[in-house]
């Protein structure tokens, strides 16, 4: 039975947690300063149902005096927001009513997604029972060579371990290749750990993490890491310098192939964003390819920065101008396109190359649509050409 440091709720799973909380007979939350409420899935709401769920959440926030509430236009996607605000920090146990809460592991936290009933129990008690997971260790040597990116690396890892290969395991990422990686890239690795069925993913924190949190909050953190004699159930080794642009072919995320093997596949939509790859580093990578170029006439490109902070900085750097000049549309920070909820839903038979994290049947819209997962650079290259394209082949 563990004491939770932070609980995250959003407008989709939050109302279910609130109802379960009330049915359990709780009146007050365990700590109003440790509950984070974010509107991020359908922002701004595109239907009455979504607007109603947000209204219910607002009422609960006011009634319980919750202080960490991020209204539309003042936050972004929860997992990114919690990193930016220094909420995700080494050693913290973070529970969220969303499967990609494991993103917090990019900063050395133990982030775990739970169901709404479990979230309700945490809301009332601040505690939750866990079985301590065994650990897979992923050791990455050397550095990535651009345009290969952390997204390509994690696709390689998933292709090796398999989408059901790490059930209830913790995955620890370490090695020279990880130390050379930015915090943005590390968040991408942790985010997609769940796609191997892992319980969580944790990147070994270092001074980059300490500096990231210090610069944002003034807080000093302890850089926790595994003991020298720690036992791992299995160790996997990867050479980052050999990673090439990769694509996960639907409907399995572990069907990973080189982008150059798929260059005859025409696309209808290119999506850049999500809690996986909507960060500033990702927008910059795509903008470098799109500058002075145009999105193919037969393709629509949708861009959604992961947070308002990223949105504003991208605007200051001129990245949003590059996207718009190329023929893309820039949307509000939202999870909507990733799960086929809003701002980029796919119709029958449509094909999308996307920087998101899942390519299941019907994930981004109609059941006959298909989603190919790739890095921001590959998404941008594909948007330019109108079919899946290795970014190394764009001149």
Domain that holds residue 228: 135-242
Q: Which of 282, 306, 318 is nearest to 182 (CA)?
A: 282
Query: What region does 269 belong to: left with phi over 0, alpha with psi -120 to 50, or beta?
Result: beta
Same domain, 10 and 115: yes
pTM score of the predicted model: 0.96
- Does 171 have pLDDT greater than 90? yes
What are the beta bridge partners of residue 8?
36, 96
Q: How confident is the model at residue 8 (pLDDT cuts 50, 70, 90)?
A: very high
Evaluate whether 213 touches 86 at the Cβ level (below 8 Å): yes
Question: What does the pLDDT look like over 86-110, one tens digit per residue?
Answer: 999 999 999 999 999 999 999 999 9
Same domain, 55 and 170: no
Output the pLDDT for position 384.
98
Same domain, 312 and 342: yes
Helix, strand or coil for residue 26? coil
Same domain, 26 and 12: yes
The last residue of one of the domains, among 98, 128, 158, is: 128
Omega prior to 106 cis, within 30 of 0? no
Q: What is the mean pLDDT of residues 223-234?
A: 94
Q: How confident is the model at residue 370 (pLDDT cuts 50, 70, 90)?
A: very high
Output the pLDDT for position 360.
96
- Does 359 have pLDDT greater than 90? yes
- Structural domains of the chain, count: 3
The last residue of one of the domains, among 88, 109, 128, is: 128
Same domain, 180 and 309: no
Same domain, 148 and 62: no
Question: What does the pLDDT look like over 303-318, one tens digit per residue?
Answer: 999 999 999 999 999 9
Same domain, 214 and 231: yes
On average, the pLDDT of the chain sits at 97
Same domain, 193 and 277: no
The last residue of one of the domains, among 192, 218, 242, is: 242
| Rounded CA separation 186/277 (Å) | 11
Q: What is the mean pLDDT of residues 191-205?
A: 97
Pairing of strands 6-10, 93-96: parallel
Q: Which CATH number does the domain housing residue 49 bear? A: 3.30.499.10
Q: What is the mean pLDDT of residues 164-182?
A: 97
Output the pLDDT for position 247.
98
| Rounded CA separation 250/360 (Å) | 6
Output the pLDDT for position 395.
84
| DSSP assigned state of 76 | B
Question: What does the pLDDT look like over 111-138, one tens digit per residue?
Answer: 999 999 999 999 999 999 999 999 999 9
Same domain, 332 and 220: no
Q: What is the mean pLDDT of residues 287-296?
A: 97
Same domain, 225 and 173: yes
């Amino acid at each position: 039975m563990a004491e939770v440091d932070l609980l995250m709720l959003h407008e989709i799973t939050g109302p279910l947690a609130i109802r379960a909380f009330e049915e359990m007979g709780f009146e007050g939350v365990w700590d109003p300063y440790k509950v984070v409420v974010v509107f991020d899935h359908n922002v701004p709401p595109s239907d009455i149902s979504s607007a109603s769920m947000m209204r219910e959440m607002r009422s609960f926030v006011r009634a319980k005096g919750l202080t960490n509430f991020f209204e539309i236009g003042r936050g972004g996607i929860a997992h990114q927001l919690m990193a930016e605000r220094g909420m995700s920090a080494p050693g913290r146990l973070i529970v969220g009513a969303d499967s990609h809460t494991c993103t917090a592991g990019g900063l050395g936290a133990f982030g775990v997604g739970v169901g709404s009933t479990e979230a309700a129990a945490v809301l009332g008690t601040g505690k939750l029972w866990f079985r301590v997971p065994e650990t897979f260790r992923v050791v990455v040597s050397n550095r990535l060579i651009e345009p290969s990116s952390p997204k390509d690396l994690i696709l390689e890892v998933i292709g090796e371990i398999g989408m059901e290969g790490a059930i209830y395991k913790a995955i620890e990422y370490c090695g020279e290749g990880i130390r050379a990686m930015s915090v943005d890239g590390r968040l991408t690795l942790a985010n997609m750990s769940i796609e191997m069925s892992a319980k969580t993913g944790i990147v070994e924190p270092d001074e980059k993490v300490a500096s990231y949190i210090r610069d944002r909050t003034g807080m000093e953190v302890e850089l926790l890491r595994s003991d020298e004699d720690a036992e791992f159930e299995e160790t996997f080794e990867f050479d980052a310098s050999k990673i090439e642009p990769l694509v996960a072919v639907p409907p399995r995320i572990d069907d990973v192939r080189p982008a150059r093997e798929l260059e005859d596949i025409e696309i209808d939509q290119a999506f850049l964003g999500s809690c996986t790859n909507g960060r500033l580093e990702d927008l910059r990578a795509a903008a470098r390819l799109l500058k002075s170029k145009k999105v193919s006439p037969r393709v629509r490109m949708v861009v959604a920065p992961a947070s308002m902070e990223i949105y504003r900085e991208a605007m200051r750097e001129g990245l949003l101008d590059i996207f718009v000049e190329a023929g893309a549309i820039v949307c509000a920070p939202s999870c909507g396109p990733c799960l086929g909820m809003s701002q980029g839903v796919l119709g029958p038979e449509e094909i999308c190359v996307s920087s998101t994290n899942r390519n299941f049947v019907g994930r981004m819209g109609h059941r006959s649509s298909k989603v190919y997962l790739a890095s921001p650079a590959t998404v941008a290259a594909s948007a330019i050409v109108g079919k899946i394209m290795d970014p190394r082949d764009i001149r």
